[in-house]
Chain A
Amino acid sequence: MYVLVKNHPVVPCRKLRDYLPEALKVLTILLILGLSVFPGRSAAQSELQYADGSGRMSYPTLPKLSALEMNAAKLQRKITVDFDNVPLAGALSQIAAQADLKVSLGHGLLDGTDPVTLHAEDVTVLQALQETLRGSGLWLQISPTGYLILIPYTDNVTKAQEAATVEEQLLPQHQVSGTVTSAADGQPLPGVNVVVQGTATGAATGIDGEYSLVAPSPNDTLIFSFIGYIVQEVPIAGRSVVDVALVPDTQELDEVVVIGFGEKTRRLMTESIGTVSTDEIRKLPVASPDQAIQGRISGVQVTNVSGLPGSPVAVRIRGVGTVGNTQPLYVIDGVPVGRGGGEHSNPLASINPADIESISVLKDASAAATYGMQAANGVVLITTRRGQMGKPTITFDSYAGIQQFPQLWEMLSTEELLKLDQVARDNYNKQMNLEPGSPSYLTQHPDLSDPVLRARDNSQEWIDAAANKNAPIQNYNLSVSGATDRLNYFVSAGYFNQEAIIKHWTLDRYSFRANSDYQVTDWFKLGQTFSLSHEYMDRGVNAGGDGFLLNNAAEMPPFFQIYDENNEIPGNRYGFHGNLDVAGIVRGNQVGMNEIVWNHNYDTRVLGGLNALITLPYGFSYESRAAIDYGIGKSYDWRPPFTAAELGFDRNTPEFNDTRTDALGQNFFNALRFDNTFGGHSLNVLAGVEVIKGQDSRLNVGGQNFLSLNPNFFMVVRNVETKQIRGNMGEWGSVGYITRVSYDYNEKYLLTATIRRDGSYRFSPEGGRRWGTFPSISAAWRISEEPFFNFPAVSELKLRGSWGQLGNDETAWFPHVFRLSVIPDYGSGETTKQAPSPVSFVNKDVTWETVETTDFGVDVSLFNNKLDILATYYNRLTKDFLIGIPLPRITGFSRTSVNAGTVLNRGVELEANYNFNIGQAFFDVGANLTTVYNELVEIAPGISEYSSGNYRTAVGYPIGYFFGYKTDGFYNTAEEAAQAPLEPSRSHRPQPGDVRFLDINRPKTEEDNLPEEVLWVEGEPDGQLTPEDRTMLGKTIPGYFYGLNLNGYWKGFDLSLFFQGVGDVQIYNEHAAGHMGGTEGYLNKLKESMDYWTPENKDAKNPRPVATDPNGNNRFSDRWIENGDFLRLKSLQIGWTLPQSITTSTVQRARVYLSMTNLFTITPYSGLDPEVMTYGSAGSQTNAGTDQGNVPQPRTFQVGVQLQF
């Protein structure tokens, strides 16, 4: 045990004057002060200000109080208006302000309107709006997000609102009523416009979604329109009740998108941001939020490391710009919670996906710039749900299902394996000229001549014993939510349970959330989020989360027995007596050990915070937030004693480890905002500071040899012979100053500029390495708003572009400090003494890496928003990229972090969405495609290209490409083999049936006249096979990836299909390399191993079997590199929403569904699953793409029910 020492001196807070030299911060402060002290506008102008900003931006911490029901209720609020010749825009804004609504003024619509004079007391907001707009030729619609949107009468909408205050229409001919609901979730939709086609007759739905109107004729057609939904035309066809479900328009321009430190409507966006909505998340039952974005957003590639519960997920946004940690930053409700996807587990798995309102992925520099030095790999913003206006809503969601292996390996039978082994030995003895009797002559173990043994074939049984067939998965969620005009709340509780498709691996997650907001006074709002989750994992031998039990069980000698009735381990029927010393094999019974070994992990996480918003005069507001991310973990690892006789493997020392961890991250954010409009000029400014600090610690208590194996003894580590106590801790911190200015002119010309200055604790304080400044700018031009633009088919055409720089500080901590460990120790005399020794190479020069992103795009909406197309070109250049390079071991160290060069990622993102209907069947088809071109453009002086295992990184190639020998079939004759290039380090020449490795390079000569650093001439053989003949064999970053969505609704039925795929990528099938082809040995191999070279079978898959592999046939080569393209039906779901005639009055809505995931995969890849990420490499691409036989993504069948009360 050693003492924790905090070595750094306490640094007192610095004073303001210390910052004076730092121009940026001063500017920020001046800007804030200047704006505060000198509002610079007349009193008349100030009357025009909007209560809550112009609506172009609001605050992420300010929840959306203004969902549908609430908005409708706001229209009923009683207000007093007092207008005397006030411009229409001002009048509307003032009414909206009193109603806590936002106004989106259509462009040019207010030109030429008359000022308003109106005095009214105690009227409803709706009445006030009606009176104000009377005679203007305009009407307002209310969007689900709380915007009042101006619409001309002549549009395809209604005059009906006004008609209500005028007297009702004459000559009623056909009374129609009904309920309008959302097809996505069955919720009633208030405020939907219903008009009779070709007339001015219409109505709007109420809070319960009901409408009622009188149509001129029973043969008329009703038009239902609502912001955010697709316009629907429904013939009355003589009915008196017409119920309609509207289909959401996912690419709606007025969709509010969560951005860094704010919100923005999609129409005003200048940045590249992809989103996934709550509807989509709730449809696909996923275990963690990062899985919810898989295949949904262009530019975002998501790869599951394995199909096991809680396994890490690799997320790559627009390629790989760093050789270090490539995971994006995750921000939950405004609080950065780090890079998701740990090496061996997934921290995001603690977030209940059902609590998520939306996910935004910030892809370009402009979008992510507010996160500065943490944002280089993109940012994923997760916003959790808030209560919506209306009476309390109780929802209950549940699903249950089973998971299966999509496929399993086929292994050799005992007979096949022993035959292969014998052939390999025969070939070896022959090649080495060995005679029987020589101690080097290879023979099969004498035990294997036993006919009983040879007849025993458990190859399939071993796999079956490791697999958990029809592993259950279940999920329950209950939530209560609601809101009044001053308070909203959302409370939820969930339970999730998943067993792995291998034995002894279960995940339980309990989650609880309470979010609320309270409008204390008209200028002060207080909000709160709180979530608590508890995750429990129960595992056996796969404590590290690797899932290699399956692999280990599959390769057990097939003549070994799995079970033994006479087993000595109490309560365990697995045993090994029947196998002990059979064939001289030392091999633990993996299946048995998995049963008796414990690895219990408990992780509890609290994430929560308070935020306050103070509305100030002149369009200013002040926001303050404090949040924590607190996690505690506990793990119990217990390994009971067992002997070789019991399990084939001797570990007679019982061992118990109790490890406790805790981590507290604190986040403080303070900002001043300004939001105002001057004529057509809208300005939105954010100036803030974010301070993050945290600490973590770990304490481990372990013991060996207990007096009793009763858990009461070892769980408290007492009565133990050998005790061990260890611990460590860390602290971190960062400071960021953020300034963002957004400007638009008439919502036509849009501009956003952001700058963040960040300091990271990781780097040396010397030489400015600690602080970085990250600027960005983006602009957009909505051509479709120009007067000259006159293409009715095109409803929206926007050009946008951005440029900016982001940082990445993810590297080894404290590279500038020479760290010592007390771990190595040495005996002198009879005692052991700690011998502090350096554990890190010092590189003081390390600093952040800079990603420079340029982005151009076009957004097009066609045919009344039926077809939306989004196309973006991106170019990301990572400069000074941080890399842990392998150091020559002569330094005494294996690697260090350096800023090592420039990486380019370039590509195109395409998204298209099309809505159409065939009668009452509505369809929504979406597709996205992303291309990635990745190349190391330059490498810093003093660092050359380098290999690390089977991967190489070199200029002109993608990061971490496969580097090895090329092959060309086999040597078929002795003559051919004699011609083989000489391989100096091998003692044996190739024989017929051996792999033909290609000699492709030669050393340079004087005549070549090549630069000094070039040592080899490529493409010219020299007759020698050397390591210099290795070459590029493939890459791990896909050239493209795509997703395809199809949603259909018909009456109460819905169907959704979701495909996902990648292309232009290679996989190193290490599992095949280790389990195919013939060397001697009794560990089982893949079935294809029997297809080996003989003089009669020259087209075989594998070379001749030969013991010890003297030609290195199984060495890393293109034999093991496979095409990793795939197209997968990720999910298929069929749902049915029960008609309200069936559901009772207490149950507002009931939906049942059947969901299937990973139904089929089309791929040329021969392994179990082409979705491959090297185990332990989720965070880094430098050694990704190796298939070690991970557990594949399970095929699941689930049934679910969603109820709402």
Chain B
Amino acid sequence: MNRFIKTIAAPLLLVLTLTSCEGVLDQAPLGELDSGTYYQNEEHFEAAILSPYSTLLNFTYEQFGTGWFAGFLMPDDDVRNPRGSNSEEEFTWTPSNGHFSYIWNESYKGIMRANVILDRLPAAQNFADESRKAVYEGEAKFMRAYFNFVLARNFGNVPIVRELIQSVADSRLGNSEPGEIWDFIEEDLERAIATLPEDWNESNKGRATRYSALALLGKVRLFRAQWFNDNSKYAQAKAAFDQIVNSGKFRLMEDYGDNFRIETENNAESLFEVQMTRGDFNPWLAVDHESNEGAAGSGRKIYMGAACDEGNCAPGANAFGYGQVHITTSLQSEFEPGDPRVYHTFYTDGDVYCEEGGGDGCPAIFSSLWSVTGATPSKYIRPFEPKGNPNNITTNNERIIRYADVLLMLAECELFTGNTQRAVDLINQVRTRARNNYEIVYGEPAPDGLLPPVQVGSQQEVFKALMHERRVELALEVVRYDDLVRWHRAGLINIKTDVDFGNPIAQANWQERHLLKPIPQGELDINPNLRQNPGY
């Protein structure tokens, strides 16, 4: 027996072990989905289609305003920073600016997520209804257009990622030709308009509709008309906006404040908004962070909530409001006396800041001493509650495009295609709603002569009225600097001389190069085909 073991069995054993399971090499990531198993059927796409949308959350979740507010809101003339210095506000823009690179990164991440859908959709089987594919395609293209529009209007002739990049060699895309990306955006939106539904049911509220795409398309065309002085685009933009108006599905809410309240999200004035559903997340982490599942809320409340100035502090200052945004005196005085929209735009002396039970230091009356300019934002924030759990986040949806904006953009198209009368009528629709809000806000009828209708006049006069109306109606809704840039490009205004930034340093520093943001240096460092925007 021993001999058998020694001479036969043992070598045999070895041979057997040599044939051991090489199956241990066949592993796949666990607890995750992967491309081998996902994007197969309708159910998969029903979930995956939300991933491009989820990128939107990243823009506004952050307590320090990273990206959206710091990058887009700060440069405009409606707000300024507190004491100290702020490079976005003061136009000391460098290619290493983290807020700008954040916008760049997140926009392209959203495009990637849309491209994955478009890449996988054609091969997917098991669709109960093949026509559903077209809807997903429309949503993906809408989101891709949205992010490309962010890129185009901020960074200029950026690389166009037409399809999912799947090799390192393909990742070195250079700048696009002037105008190329605008064509691409329009193509995507036209396809989206053709395939998206007019409506979504209650449980799918918030997904892009045909009208979301029409509104975005109209806006893109309006921008194109002015960026490239291409007057033919006004008529095309008008055509898109008119479809929205003529659909009869949208109206100005009776209460202007409904546009900023959590209780009245996705209302009849809304064409597209970012869906914030949860606030119970860690505001110190990005929503895509591993340990931070959950659709986030907006960091707007803590970023814009009042804090202190020169030692004079709002209740819960620094813990519940960082006081990073202050209303410039030029915006304060832009409002006509008695305009009730002030109530939903900024707090100023004598306003109820927070009410009984609102937390430490409440009730409190707003004091202009808390702010370097005497006023801090109230839009989306009112009534301010310096408490809560979490205390600094709101799940209030961020409205991206609402009907009042559509009406005013349509008015602009009408104005520059010669239809001054309709332009005035459209502006007056917005003003009328504002006037009617006086009673809603102050509990008594509007005084006579408040917000009188705009009269037909010269193109220049009506444009002035339109600029005024856009500024007060849409203040703090992160459209102002884009408006200034397109009007400057169209030669309608000169930012350097016509705009009061409310900050002497910003005033001194602004130059033509600030019409575009610098392309992130980190991107240039690894992509030899990419060129910096002029002046940086």
Contact = CB atoms under 8 A, between A and B. Distances in A.
Interface stretch (B79-87, B221-229, B442-450): B79-87
A19 interface: yes
Nearest to B511: A987
Contacts of B275: 826-828
A1138 interface: no
Interface string B268-302: 00000001111010000001111111110000000
B525 interface: yes
A759 interface: yes
Contacts of A1080: 84
A694 B233 CA distance: 62
A803 B22 CA distance: 29
Given A439-B503, A987-B92, A818 B35 contact: yes
B7 A984 contact: no
A679 to B, nearest CB: 26
A896 B18 contact: no
A682 interface: no
Interface stretch (A304-312, A481-489, A724-732): A724-732
A705 B84 CA distance: 37
Interface in A340-397: none
Interface residues of B, number: 130
A1110 interface: yes
Interface in B28-52: 28-38, 44, 47-51
A770 B25 contact: yes
B478 to A, nearest CB: 20
A889 interface: yes
Interface string A1054-1084: 0000000000000000000000000010000
A873 interface: no
Interface string B15-32: 101111111111111111
B51 A836 contact: yes
Contact of A734 (B24, B85, B276): B24
Nearest to B525: A947
Interface in A887-914: 887-894, 896, 898
A891 B26 contact: no
A984 B535 contact: yes
A999 to B, nearest CB: 16
A817 B36 contact: yes
B47 to A, nearest CB: 6
Interface stretch (A82-90, A206-214, A614-622, A773-781): A614-622
Interface in A127-158: none
A1164 interface: no
B24 A644 contact: no
B10 interface: yes
Contact of B15 (A4, A9, A16, A727): A16
B358 interface: no
Interface stretch (A217-225, A255-263, A442-450, A565-573): A442-450
A671 B29 CA distance: 32
Interface string A9-49: 11111111001000001001100110010000000000000
Contacts of B206: 827-829
Contacts of A832: 277-278, 294-295
A334 B95 CA distance: 52
Given A670-B17, A828-B204, A890 B161 contact: yes
A843 B30 contact: no
Interface stretch (B124-132, B164-172, B345-353, B468-476): B164-172
A2 B31 contact: yes
Contacts of A722: 280
B22 A759 contact: yes
A831 B277 contact: yes
Contacts of A760: 25
Contacts of B277: 827, 830-832
Given A705-B389, A984-B536, A668 B20 contact: yes
A836 B105 contact: no
A1013 B528 contact: yes
A33 B15 contact: yes
Interface in A427-482: 428, 432-434, 438-440, 442-443, 445-447
A584 interface: yes
A963 to B, nearest CB: 9
A889 B95 contact: no
A843 to B, nearest CB: 7
Nearest to B106: A889
A688 to B, nearest CB: 8
B123 interface: no
B452 interface: no
A689 B503 CA distance: 74
Contacts, number: 383
Interface string A938-954: 00001110110000000
Given A438-B504, A617-B7, A670 B14 contact: yes
B518 A985 contact: yes
A886 B522 contact: yes
A956 interface: no
Contacts of A842: 35, 166
B361 to A, nearest CB: 11
A943 B143 CA distance: 30
B172 A942 contact: yes
B94 interface: yes
Given A432-B505, A891-B112, A833 B47 contact: yes
Interface in B92-148: 92-95, 101, 104-105, 108-113, 115-116
B18 A28 contact: yes
Interface string A703-728: 01100000000000000001000111
Interface in A1092-1123: 1107-1108, 1110, 1112
A921 interface: no
B112 A893 contact: yes
Contact of A836 (B33, B94, B313): B33
Given A445-B310, A943-B168, A761 B27 contact: yes
Contact of B50 (A438, A726, A826, A830): A826
B54, B105, B280, most chain A CB atoms within 10 A: B54
B35 A817 contact: yes
Contact of B509 (A433, A670, A987): A987
Nearest to A15: B19
A418 B527 CA distance: 44
A644 B392 CA distance: 13
Contact of A987 (B20, B36, B55, B91): B91
A581 B313 contact: yes
Given A835-B47, A892-B161, 16 more contacts: A32-B14, A33-B11, A434-B505, A440-B83, A581-B308, A644-B318, A672-B10, A730-B31, A737-B18, A819-B34, A824-B287, A825-B50, A825-B294, A887-B526, A890-B171, A893-B112
Interface of A: 2, 4-16, 19, 25, 28-29, 32-33, 36, 428, 432-434, 438-440, 442-443, 445-447, 523, 581, 584, 586, 614, 616-617, 622, 624, 643-644, 649-650, 652-653, 668, 670-672, 687, 689, 691-693, 704-705, 722, 726-735, 737, 759-761, 765, 770, 813-814, 817-839, 841-843, 885-894, 896, 898, 942-944, 946-947, 984-988, 1013, 1015, 1027, 1080, 1107-1108, 1110, 1112
State the 6 A-B residue pairs at the shortest beta-carbon distance, nearest first. A892-B112, A733-B24, A827-B277, A818-B35, A835-B50, A837-B51
23 contacts: A7-B29, A8-B27, A432-B504, A434-B504, A439-B80, A584-B318, A624-B13, A650-B391, A670-B17, A689-B14, A727-B31, A730-B31, A819-B35, A820-B38, A824-B51, A824-B55, A829-B205, A885-B168, A888-B526, A891-B161, A987-B509, A988-B509, A1027-B95
Interface of B: 2, 5-7, 10-11, 13-15, 17-38, 44, 47-51, 53-55, 57, 80, 83-85, 90-95, 101, 104-105, 108-113, 115-116, 158-159, 161, 165-169, 171-173, 200, 202-207, 275-278, 280, 287-295, 307-308, 310-311, 313, 317-320, 322, 372-373, 389-391, 502-505, 508-509, 511, 513, 518, 520-528, 530, 535-536
